[in-house]
Amino acid sequence: MCGEPRASDAGKKAVLMGWVNRRRDHGNLLFVDLRDRSGVSQVVINAERNAAIHEKGEALRNEYVIAVTGTVKLRDANTVNPNMPTGEVELVADELRILNESKLPPFLPSDTALTNEETRLKFRYIDLRRDVMQFNIELRHKVAKAIRDYLSAQGFFEIETPFMTRSTPEGARDYLVPSRVQPGTFYALPQSPQLFKQILMISGFDKYFQIVRCFRDEDLRADRQPEFTQIDLEMSYPQPERVWEVVEGFLTAAFRAAGSEIKAPFPRMDYDEAIRLYGIDKPDLRLPAFTDVRECFARENLQQLAVNANLPVVAIRIPKVGELSRAERDSIKPLFVSKGGAKLFEDFKRIEKNFPEVAAKIATKSGTDAGDLVVIVAGSAQTSSAPTEAQSLIPPHRKVTPQELAIYASAGLLRLALAQKYAERHGIFKKTGDPEKDFRFLWVTNFPMFEWNEGEKQWNAAHHPFTSPHEEDMPKLETGVESMNDPQSALNSVRALAYDVVLNGTELGSGSIRIHRQDVQRRIFRALGMTEEEARSRFGFFLEALEYGTPPHGGIALGLDRIVMILAGAESLREVIPFPKTARAVDLMVDAPTPVGEKQLRELGIIIRKSRE
């Protein structure tokens, strides 16, 4: 047999190959923990049984690669190790071969105290030998396979699309690849296969998916990587609900592969409602929503508090925080970032003292229990109706005005900051083992089509420019385009057939029903400030393709790395990507990027400027 021996193998001959995880020398007895992909097994080398291999065994060091032939034996009861799957048995060695030696690595795969991340990434091959990394990479494989199997069974074809292509607008900078054959020209690595998957619908492959690498040159955060993997899909003739059903299906399969039974369909919420209830377009449903407590106050109360009575007054409740000292209450203030006109009342005690009836109503309306923390966010009386910078922060929406949005968004950020700060006390983020509580999925729908870019004074696509507006908002597109340099234009209230799937406050993926008519696509490009000429030069091929009988279509893309990260309970994407890059987009193991030689540059017709301009 090969692989981990178990009690049922007792008496059998076995061959084990792997690394020396640890070696313990007890004189005539040598114990070697041998590690392979399936785990760790104990090998015993007994000098009395075989002096020659005992001598060889003495030369063994950590991370040597060995092959051992021997007999599986049940351990004595007092030496059974219940913490190891192979803990009931050991392999008594008859033969030992050293297949390769190893230098002493900078850290050992068996070390429990982790060395710094730079060293881990530089010696990634050692790091990947660690249990948890082996677990994470196996989990990634199982999740990807479950998704592939599910989608294939649903009739989707996995179809590859090019990496060397031209720019696709997903809102980041492109990574460019210079062409040697045509000096001065560049391919762009795809930010997503968006246009290709749409073209595949035009080509008659009515159900496409791809687990595919995407490349975006943007400022990195813990949950971003310059190259990352999407589960990308597209279908012909779907209603949004059909796309959601497919996603729910493959996520159920993926979570099952990781041992969690989740429930579908996921709840759905309008973008507008998400803003009103959570102040963010990716609500974490594990925490209580806001309560609108404006009506708990009489107008005079609001006046006394210098609060604008026409704007929302929002109570944020964080459960089970317990009594806070004065200093602790004061420490809440710096967490509050006002997005313009929003003010904070962090001392609910003072409201209780000065307005006892109001406080009682708020407590009832928000379902506050003893020990819950309640803070109030409202609009300041002075900044009543002037438009605020918040317009550029989150897209304004037809129902939530920019002034309201400023209050909701400020409250939304504070809600999350407070929930983080008191995470130990309320324990809501701790896994319970019940997937229904641990994984709170949500569809957020009906996003605004456009968002106003204050810096560039123009409208941007909130999702991407191939997203279809709502049929009934099409006329607004016409009037909106006429005043498209105005943040108040009718474009403000055009809704998109776009949707996001959210898990525990993290956006897992975004998608939309697409524009399938060339005239509508042109109008959208125009609304985005693109001249006819620009549109033709960037997307001419696509506009042309749209003219050849394009079926209605739609799709979505989800981040595979993020899903695996959540399932692995990992802190960063780097824990679930075999060869990730640092926050400075560097691969420390292979040392990339690097300068290239003069000859190569010359061939590509590239001259490097000495200093960046």
At residue 37, what are phi and psi to the nearest 5 degrees?
A: -60, -30
Q: Cβ–Cβ contacts within 10 Å for residue 152, how many?
A: 13
DSSP 51-92: HHHHHHHHT--TT-EEEEEEEEEEPPGGG--TTSTTTTEEEE
How far is it, in rounded angstroms, from Cα 93 to Cα 16? Answer: 10
CB 159 within 8 A of CB 200: yes
Q: How far is the CB of 534 from ligand ASP (least distance, A)?
A: 21
Q: How far is the CB of 219 from ligand ASP (least distance, A)?
A: 17
Q: Cβ–Cβ contacts within 10 Å for residue 141, how many?
A: 12
Size of the site for ligand ASP (CB under 6 A): 9
Query: Quick one: tokens of 456?
Result: 């560039």
Q: How far is the CB of 581 from ligand ASP (least distance, A)?
A: 19
How far is it, in rounded angstroms, from Cα 228 to Cα 580? Answer: 9
**Does 555 contact ligand ASP by CB under 6 A?**
yes
- Choice between 161 and 366, CB closer to ligand ASP: 161
- Choice between 338 and 512, CB closer to ligand ASP: 512
Query: Quick one: tokens of 609?
Result: 């400027």
Q: How far is the CB of 201 from ligand ASP (least distance, A)?
A: 12
- Choice between 230 and 366, CB closer to ligand ASP: 230
- Choice between 336 and 447, CB closer to ligand ASP: 447
Largest CA distance in the chain: 95
Q: How far is the CB of 512 from ligand ASP (least distance, A)?
A: 5
- Choice between 332 and 496, CB closer to ligand ASP: 496
One-letter amino acid identity for 176?
L
- Give the β-pairing of 342-345 and 314-318: unpaired
What x/- string results for residues 176 through 205 when contact with ligand ASP is judged by CB under 6 A?
----------------x-x-----------
What x/- string results for residues 120 through 159 when contact with ligand ASP is judged by CB under 6 A?
----------------------------------------
- Choice between 512 and 550, CB closer to ligand ASP: 512
- Choice between 315 and 557, CB closer to ligand ASP: 557
Q: How far is the CB of 233 from ligand ASP (least distance, A)?
A: 7
Residues in region 481-520 near ligand ASP by CB under 6 A: 510-512
> Taking phi first (over 0 means left), then psi (-120 to 50 degrees means alpha), and beta for anything else, what does residue 464 get?
beta
- Choice between 374 and 515, CB closer to ligand ASP: 515
Q: How far is the CB of 416 from ligand ASP (least distance, A)?
A: 23
Closest CA to 388 of 374, 362, 363, 409: 409
CB 41 within 8 A of CB 122: no
Q: CA torsion angle for 254, 258, 262, 265 (degrees, to 10)?
A: -10
- Choice between 124 and 148, CB closer to ligand ASP: 148
Q: How far is the CB of 467 from ligand ASP (least distance, A)?
A: 7
- CB under 6 A: which stretch of 261-269, 346-354, 405-413, 552-560 binds ligand ASP? 552-560
Burial class (CB within 10 angstroms; exposed 0-12, middle 13-18, buried 19+) of 200: buried
How far is it, in rounded angstroms, from Cα 361 to Cα 348? Answer: 13
Burial class (CB within 10 angstroms; exposed 0-12, middle 13-18, buried 19+) of 176: middle
- Choice between 301 and 460, CB closer to ligand ASP: 460
Q: How far is the CB of 63 from ligand ASP (least distance, A)?
A: 41
- Choice between 4 and 281, CB closer to ligand ASP: 281
What x/- string results for residues 159 through 178 when contact with ligand ASP is judged by CB under 6 A?
-----------x--------
- CB under 6 A: which stretch of 11-19, 79-87, 158-166, 555-563 binds ligand ASP? 555-563
CB 264 within 8 A of CB 165: no
Query: Quick one: tokens of 373?
Result: 């923390």
Q: How far is the CB of 568 from ligand ASP (least distance, A)?
A: 23
In 3-state terms, what secondary structure has residue 613? coil
Q: CA torsion angle for 571, 572, 578, 581 (degrees, to 10)?
A: -150
CB 235 within 8 A of CB 243: yes
- Choice between 233 and 490, CB closer to ligand ASP: 233
Q: How far is the CB of 555 from ligand ASP (least distance, A)?
A: 5
Mapping DSSP onto H, E and C, the string for 179-232 reads CCCCCCCEEECCCCCHHHHHHHHHCCCCEEEEEEEEECECCCCCCCCCEEEEEE
Q: How far is the CB of 584 from ligand ASP (least distance, A)?
A: 24
- CB under 6 A: which stretch of 289-297, 304-312, 551-559, 599-607 binds ligand ASP? 551-559
Residues in region 70-109 near ligand ASP by CB under 6 A: none
Q: How far is the CB of 408 from ligand ASP (least distance, A)?
A: 24
- Choice between 235 and 413, CB closer to ligand ASP: 235
Q: Which residues bind ligand ASP (CB under 6 A)?
A: 170, 192, 194, 510-512, 555-557
